[in-house]
Structure 1
Amino acid sequence: MLPKCVSICSRFFTCGIFVAALAVAETRVYDFEIGWASRNPDGRHERRVIAINDQWPIPTIEATVGDRIVVNAHNHLGDRATSLHFHGLFQNGTNHMDGSIGVTQCPIPPGASMTYDFVVDQPGTYWYHSHETAQYPDGLRGPMIVHDPNHPYAESYDEELVLTLSDWYHEEMSQIVKDFLTVTNPTGAEPVPQSALQNDTHDLQVPITPGKKYFLRIINLSAFASHYFWIEGHEFEIIELDGVYHEPTKAEMVYLTAAQRVGVIFTAKNETSRNYAMVAAMDQEMFDVIPDDLIPNAVSYLVYDASKPLPVPEPVDEFEPIDDFNLIPTDREEIFKSPARTITLNVSMENLGDGANYAFFNNITYKTPVVPTLFTALSANGDDAMDPLIYGDYTNSFVLDQGEVIELVLNNKDDGKHPFHMHGHNFQVIVRSEENAGAWDPAEASEFPEIPMKRDTVMLQPQGNLVLRFRSDNPGIWQFHCHVEWHMKQGLLVTLVEAPLALQKTLNIPADHLAVCQAAKMPTEGNAAGNTVDWLDLTGQPSPPKPLPDGFTPRGIVALIFSIISGLIGTVVIFWYAYGDIPDQSEEEQALGSGSDRSGYEGLSSSNGHSFEEDNGPNGSRVPDETARLLD
């Protein structure tokens, strides 16, 4: 077996095979056997992960602009369906290859196969992952890099590196979801991961050549956590956000929400006196609780000299990432003016009749329809396809005309952060408020940026607002959703039905996709309920639980009685303790022993029970897990 450094770093340097871009487009075929393997990425707990061809971390998909990508996906998971979504790719003309279950395809059931076949015309940093419910945090996610023969900053760097950031859970998602969306979690507290990882490990070492310039592609693969990222002793320039080139902007720290990507260029130092830490610190403000076993930071190392020790990162008093709102795309596309349509989306979280906590856009929580929405659009007769009613009461569907400027206004009525991602497009971010700013009021609008930042994923702050604009120039069915996997499960999704009549003229579903639907026992025609006779009859459509009834239910009355009894018992105990005999201090000390040995507490960390003194890494350096203390 290769040393861990070499095997892990292989993901970094695979980009080297594309140094000489070919003038002729190629077809790149990937045969993916999707199944289970056993791994221990954080060194603390071995568990099942979803692997590809028994490889985990899963392979990086690479191509050059203009290449055709063919992915043959074979489901060997045994007890669950799957799919693959190529995050950030517009899939212009190939909407059926987007990979969204219930939206553009049926789930690939166990034992079935499906082919994704499309041409890539967008250079940049992307990733691919399962779009089946809460599945990609089990490991089915990896980088996707589209190389650009005409990269505008090609002369500014010598070598490419790819670095993934992620949160990691010790339990499988199927069990966590059961415990999450239930009456026993009425507040909707999101499950907190156990660890942070870089390139799916906890002690990555990256050999560095002094004086070289590196293009570092950073991808946040997390299910939940945003990450602060910095390289000690190194400044860098941001040149890419979510696959969109931006004018170089200097920074020392960046913030990446789940699903965001940032491309930076840094110059290696001209001396080898020491090595340097690259730190990814999870945004713990997103967590309702901080578990005792949480390792919130992942550290990797720029290794200038392998004989030198690996450093312990310096503590930081405050996170100060660059504000990406002010970055300027290199194409300098001006703000889209005079929107033809404004769609306002109010975000909220509420309990429904089953006691569980759900997420809502405009008081609607998403439910997957009987027929995938794309198939509804393709099978509808004439103008029926333009009627949002046929797509269901709980898909939150908005039908868009082709070629218009669309404005999305998001108002967060929740106290949590929400990274929102749009399929099929990127968007201009023209307003992004601080937290507690309240709902967007256009009457109070100040000047918008003349050339807004563009990306496909952006954070909505707690009790804040966002205003986004895009052009509806890509006929298809596209999801707009929160990329916190738990909020997806809670129903925080919208369906954009874009130019369905144009879609009917250009798109045909391949036979193997239809065969997957047959194997999954899902119809491929009809409205959201599968009705092909009366397109406005939605009888039988999937629906959420009913709202909580007003007043006390029998179950609520019982819960109230037991709460009162518990309160009375607690009060009695307090009075009993207050009036009981309490030994004085000298008696207590005598009972403990005047020379009590407290040495067992020496060297313990208040955050995770690890000690700088107890654990040592290579060359006598202290272990990277201790970076959990960065903000203690």
Structure 2
Amino acid sequence: MVRFSAAAVLAFALGAVAKTVSLDFNVSWVIVNPDGLADRKVIGVNGEWPLPIINVDKGDRLVVKMYNGLGDKSTSIHWHGMFQNGTNEMDGASMFTQCPIPPGSSFTYNFTINQNGTYWYHCHTDYCYPDGYRQALLVHDKDAPFANQYKEEFSLTLSDWYHNMMDDLRTEFMSLYNPTGAEPIPDAFLLNDGQNKTFKVEPNTTYLLRIINTGNFIAQYFFIEGHNMTIVEVDGVYTEPAQASMLYVHIAQRYSVLVTTGNSTDANFKIVTAADQDLMDTIPDNVRLNLTSWLVYDENAPLESADITTLNSDDYQAIAFDDFTLVPADRMPLLPEPDHQVNMTVYMVNLMTGYNYAELNNITYTAPKVPTLYTAMSTGEMNTQQVVYGEYTNPIVLKHNDVVEFVLNNADGGTHPFHLHGHNFQVIQREPPLGPNFNDYLNDNLIIGYDPNNHTAFPQIPARRDVIVLPPQGFVVVRFVADNPGVWAFHCHIDWHLASGLSMTFIEAPELIPSRISIPEDHYAVCAAAAVPTAGNAAANTVDFTDLKGQNVQPGDIPDGWTTKGIVSMAFTVLSAVLGITSLVYYGLADLKQRPKPASANDSSEGEVATSNSDIAKQG
């Protein structure tokens, strides 16, 4: 008789369930026109766009072999929301965990997904994903608390859309002619990378909708006419059921909701997405700020567009669900008092180049010469020292399993969706809150800073997610456990702001990184092809890891007072002005002295009598 150990039976069972999902991505340019208004190039996969939705089951291994066939642009893939525990090298953030993949190079992502919920994948290299390089990554879980409560699921991606290429728009954004940092206004808005979408449903039936904002800049409001939604998951975290009539979905945030259809089939119901107008400096007359899609009960019934002209941003904020009130289904309690507190403030500034930049405290993120993970792998015992990671990567070294409290204040008048790689976090404080009182704070022009000695009581079971909205002139406080050794980016997910430096770096348990992380040879080969060093500190110094001479640096601050160059320049300017005025006066007076006197009546010399002022002028 054949006998099996309990471990063997478990391994067999897991093996029977888990599988490997292998995909080949040939990334290249394709021409599309998703809003019917303008053809443009986008980044496609295997000659197609929209990109393929990736469906996996919890426990599967995902292997994606990517070839960069763009010809003129480097790229990468970030698996947004994936913890990558033990596979930090697969996170996909250029110059954090890998080198940018240059044209003609291949790169393999290979990791196991031990999570559940709604995620997405996108390029994480230099203004790349808003050119179309983004799509849903859906992790199915047969043991989800709501697994047996719905018949079918739909994924819905919300996005803003530009008719111009990002490389063209970036020159307008980072420009001497844009000192306020006004972000380019989208030309259109899309749902599932198109418009006028329909979703066929049956009456008296429950559906799961997975909602993802895959845009570049604009948050959107989401609601379904005549239907309530039950939130059951947010950013990969199952929640206790929460009723909502409208969602506020900022860039990179995700919600899963259950929607139960009604009894009647007499009409079709509108799915409405509306742009957050408060994020735009101007609203062009030709930009349509809302879209209508439909839950189709009856294919023969008309599809009417929503009339939401009576609603404005204040109305939306009063109706939108406040995600701070969500309760995770696992009821994870509030983490204990922190071992490490990080306190940062968002500033939007101009630096010496005259361009607009974004800063966390006084640092605008500037990529190192060596990817930060590779520095952690190559600097030996010095990898625990913050100095080796450079000044301008805004690095924070965390000890293994520390409870980290992150306080993020906003000195800016706009919202910022901040994302932490490798983790989700507890949201324990946010002011001002979303909801009816939100705009009361803004109308008072208050700048609210977090006071650790004077705050409302923290929730005992806080909401948990991986993208949090930082309110205008307000703050958020989050906590997480540093239990995932690796290099993790923390950044605003508005791509304009990320590109202008609104990012920082967490280096978690660096002493454990070399023994837990293994960088494949094809990753090093990509670095060689891109001419990016793979060893040493942030300045690529492999001899003295504390010597940062030659590191990449951010532009200098505009000085408050006079600099030596300014004083010298002003002195020469004033001297030149004085000499110029003196010259004009001297030569002007000299000219007048040489003018002939008018002839008297007794002067009879021919040709010398001035008979008019014009004649005098001509002679002068």
What TM-score do the two structures reach when normalised by structure 2?
A: 0.85
Match of 2:512 among 483, 486, 502: 502
**Offset of residue 312 of structure 1:** 2.2
> Which residue in 2 is equivalent to 1:423?
421
**Is the contact between residue 195 and residue 297 of structure 1 (CA under 8 Å) also seen in structure 2?**
no
Q: Judging changes above 3 Å, is the alpha-carbon distance between structure 1 residues 277 and 388 closer, same or farther for their aligned structure 2 residues?
A: same
Letter in 2 for 1:79: D
Aligned length in residues: 539
Q: Distance in 2 between matches of 1:126 and 1:453?
A: 18
> Which residue in 2 is equivalent to 1:347?
346
1:330-479 maps to which residues of 2 (within 5 A)? 330-382=329-381, 384-434=382-432, 436-479=446-489
**Offset of residue 314 of structure 1:** 3.4
> Which residue in 2 is equivalent to 1:18?
none
Aligned with 1:156: secondary structure?
coil
Aligned with 1:374: secondary structure?
helix
**Is the contact between residue 420 and residue 488 of structure 2 (CA under 8 Å) also seen in structure 1?**
yes
**Offset of residue 446 of structure 1:** 1.6
**Offset of residue 505 of structure 1:** 1.2
Letter in 2 for 1:394: Y
> Which residue in 1 is equivalent to 2:600?
none
Q: Work out whether 1:157 is the aligned partner of 2:150.
A: yes
**Is the contact between residue 198 and residue 299 of structure 1 (CA under 8 Å) also seen in structure 2?**
no
**Offset of residue 80 of structure 1:** 0.8
**Is the contact between residue 486 and residue 513 of structure 2 (CA under 8 Å) also seen in structure 1?**
yes
**Offset of residue 550 of structure 1:** 4.0
**Offset of residue 75 of structure 1:** 0.3
Aligned with 2:167: secondary structure?
helix
> Which residue in 2 is equivalent to 1:613?
none
Q: Distance in 2 between matches of 1:82 and 1:270?
A: 49
**Offset of residue 270 of structure 1:** 2.2
Q: Work out whether 1:139 is the aligned partner of 2:132.
A: yes
| Alignment gaps of 5+ in structure 1 | 1-20, 562-632
1:190-589 maps to which residues of 2 (within 5 A)? 190-315=183-308, 316-317=310-311, 318-319=315-316, 320-382=319-381, 384-434=382-432, 436-551=446-561
Letter in 1 for 2:339: A
Aligned with 1:218: secondary structure?
strand
Aligned with 2:504: secondary structure?
strand
Letter in 1 for 2:292: V
**Offset of residue 402 of structure 1:** 0.4
> Which residue in 2 is equivalent to 1:9?
none
Q: Work out whether 1:105 is the aligned partner of 2:98.
A: yes
Bigger shift: residues 202-211 or 347-356: 202-211
Letter in 1 for 2:158: L
Deviations 1:431-472 (A, max 9, x none): 010153511001111211000000000110111011000000
Deviations 1:88-121 (A, max 9, x none): 0100000000000000000000010000000000
Deviations 1:310-348 (A, max 9, x none): 022132432111111111000000000110011001110
Aligned with 1:32: secondary structure?
strand
Q: Distance in 2 between matches of 1:468 and 1:178?
A: 35
Aligned with 1:179: secondary structure?
helix
**Is the contact between residue 397 and residue 495 of structure 1 (CA under 8 Å) also seen in structure 2?**
yes
Q: Distance in 1 between matches of 2:558 and 2:451?
A: 31
What TM-score do the two structures reach when normalised by structure 1?
A: 0.83
> Which residue in 1 is equivalent to 2:107?
114
Q: Distance in 2 between matches of 1:474 and 1:453?
A: 20
Aligned with 1:107: secondary structure?
coil
> Which residue in 1 is equivalent to 2:116?
123
Q: Distance in 2 between matches of 1:295 and 1:170?
A: 14
Q: Judging changes above 3 Å, is the alpha-carbon distance between structure 1 residues 87 and 269 closer, same or farther for their aligned structure 2 residues?
A: same
Q: Distance in 1 between matches of 2:100 and 2:532?
A: 9
Aligned with 2:512: secondary structure?
helix
Q: Distance in 2 between matches of 1:202 and 1:415?
A: 31
**Is the contact between residue 31 and residue 42 of structure 2 (CA under 8 Å) also seen in structure 1?**
yes
> Which residue in 1 is equivalent to 2:593?
none
**Is the contact between residue 64 and residue 148 of structure 1 (CA under 8 Å) also seen in structure 2?**
yes
* Percent of matched pairs sharing the same residue: 49
**Is the contact between residue 417 and residue 462 of structure 1 (CA under 8 Å) also seen in structure 2?**
yes
Q: Distance in 1 between matches of 2:516 and 2:243?
A: 44
Q: Supply the RMSD in Å over aligned alpha carbons.
A: 1.8
Bigger shift: residues 541-550 or 166-175: 541-550
**Offset of residue 551 of structure 1:** 5.0
Deviations 1:236-288 (A, max 9, x none): 10000001000001111000110000000001122210111101101010111
Q: Distance in 1 between matches of 2:105 and 2:514?
A: 27
Deviations 1:105-146 (A, max 9, x none): 000000100000000000100000000111101100000001
Match of 1:174 among 159, 167, 173: 167
Q: Distance in 2 between matches of 1:445 and 1:545?
A: 37
Letter in 2 for 1:441: D
**Is the contact between residue 411 and residue 447 of structure 2 (CA under 8 Å) also seen in structure 1?**
no
Deviations 1:50-107 (A, max 9, x none): 1111111100111101100000011011101000000001000000000000000000
Q: Work out whether 1:41 is the aligned partner of 2:40.
A: no
| Alignment gaps of 5+ in structure 2 | 1-13, 433-441, 575-620
Q: Distance in 2 between matches of 1:143 and 1:555?
A: 57
**Offset of residue 293 of structure 1:** 1.9
Q: Distance in 2 between matches of 1:302 and 1:117?
A: 37
